[in-house]
Homo-oligomer: A and B are copies of this chain.
């Protein structure tokens, strides 16, 4: 079996879990669910898939120090900071180049840093199926999550029909990738039984993904080629600083997956939650008799269905109020109606525009 690589995508702006998350400490650097940062849990899960020398993390410059602390197992040179965010196609290109310099034929997985998956055995088994699939043919492999509700926050993958059985598992040909649907469309997807959620988990060989980018995103690919040459000559730091800002800003779904016809999907049979925002946290902690989730030193006096996240030594108390998210940190406190968590972004836009309050981002 050829060497396998894993590239963990650990960027993110730290908005949805504000004020616990910030630009420099987004969700994957926090123990939102579990006792260690989500990224640490992700690294531990993939250590059964690839040796630690073959595990990369792509992050931002603001998060580099936090990532270094959260991944003590990994060599420092495997943690690479984008000079700035250029969307997921550019990050995919960077991941491809990082693996290519080690082994131009290797297969690698590209995985998000901040998902919750408890069934590690099944997760590793299916990743190995995805690797074996990618190593057996010139295909782009993805893992698709069986939807549990008509979510409008994910892209979907429409299955075409059986591709082949790999290591005892049925891998499925993909008909198409579709972007985040509206509710009605999502309900149709669920009813059809043919759709899976796109969780941003991909496995492919370097030459296959490079050919895909060259065919479907030639401008981006040209930038990657230039950056690869610069890195060989002057090293990654200078190559990234000079080349990355010029890469076309586009998502990997739009640039590659929606346009490719050689895509197959491994339907996921492990538990999965992207824990997209504060309300999702409630699924991972016990509730009291009134449905409240209390973390840290928190108290409720006659209130129901609240999520209260306090901090060490600080008491956060809710009296006579229901359906709130209350998060208390050293320098900022959020009180948000549980059904309105998506509006936190509007608040953060106002912080961004305010010289005095920008420091809270």
Residue A315 at the chain B interface, CB threshold 8 Å: yes
Closest to A320 in B: B340
Q: In the complex, are the beta carbons of B317 and A335 less than 8 A apart?
A: yes
Q: Mark A313-332, 1 if CB is under 8 A from B, else 0.
A: 11111111100101010011
Chain A residues bordering chain B, tally (CB within 8 A): 36
Q: In the complex, are the beta carbons of B343 and A318 less than 8 A apart?
A: no
Given contacts A299-B347, A301-B350, contact A337 B317 (CB under 8 A): no
Q: Give A334 Cβ to nearest chain B Cβ, in Å.
A: 5
Q: Which 10 A-B pairs have the closest CB atoms?
A: A320-B340, A319-B336, A320-B337, A301-B347, A315-B332, A321-B337, A316-B333, A318-B335, A328-B333, A315-B360
Given contacts A301-B346, A346-B301, A350-B301, contact A335 B324 (CB under 8 A): yes
Q: In the complex, are the beta carbons of B332 and A302 less than 8 A apart?
A: no
- Name A335's contact: one of B326, B339, B360 (CB within 8 Å): B326
Q: Give A15 Cβ to nearest chain B Cβ, in Å.
A: 12
Residue A357 at the chain B interface, CB threshold 8 Å: yes
In the complex, A350→B344 CA distance in Å?
Answer: 32
Q: In the complex, are the beta carbons of A316 and B337 less than 8 A apart?
A: no
Q: In the complex, are the beta carbons of A347 and B332 less than 8 A apart?
A: no
In addition to A310-B333, A320-B336, 13 A-B residue pairs with Cβ atoms within 8 Å of each other are A301-B350, A315-B333, A317-B332, A317-B334, A317-B335, A318-B335, A319-B335, A319-B346, A319-B347, A320-B339, A321-B335, A326-B335, A328-B333
